[in-house]
Amino acid sequence: MNLGKLKEIDVRSVWGHEQFDFSKWLASPDNIEPLGNVLNLSLVDVETEKFVGAYRCDILCKDEITGKVVLIENQLEQTNHDHLGKIITYASGLDASVVVWLVASAREEHASAIQWLNTHTTDDVSFFLIEVHAYTIGDSVPAPMFKIIEQPNDFIKQVKSIAKSQKLSDSQTKRLEFWNKFNEVLEAKGRPFNKRKATTDHWYSVAVGSSQCQISIDLVNREHKIRVSLWIPDNKDLYDRLYSHKVEIEEATGFSLKWNRHDNKKASLFCTDIKGLDFRNPSNYDELMDRTINYVLRLRAAVTPYL
Residue 85 within a domain: yes
Residue 162 within a domain: no
Q: Of 156, 180, 204, which residue constitutes the final position of a domain?
A: 156
Residue 277 within a domain: yes
The per-residue pLDDT for 210 is: 83
The per-residue pLDDT for 169 is: 78
Residue 86 CA to residue 105 CA, distance in Å, equals 17
Question: Are residues 149 and 248 both part of a single domain?
Answer: no
Residue 1 within a domain: no
Residue 155 scores a pLDDT above 70: no
Each residue of 36-70: pLDDT tens digit?
Answer: 888 888 888 899 888 877 778 899 998 887 788 99
Q: What count of other Cβ atoms lies within 10 Å of the Cβ of residue 276?
A: 14
Domain, as residue range, for 188: 167-306
Residue 299 CA to residue 307 CA, distance in Å, equals 12
Give ∠ CA 175-215-190 in degrees, rounded to 5: 75
Closest C-alpha among 251, 238, 230 to residue 306:
238
Q: In the structure, how many helices (H) and strands (E) does the chain have?
A: 10, 12
Residue 161 CA to residue 170 CA, distance in Å, equals 16
Q: Of 156, 188, 215, which residue constitutes the final position of a domain?
A: 156
Burial of 124 (0-12, 13-18, 19+ CB in 10 A): exposed
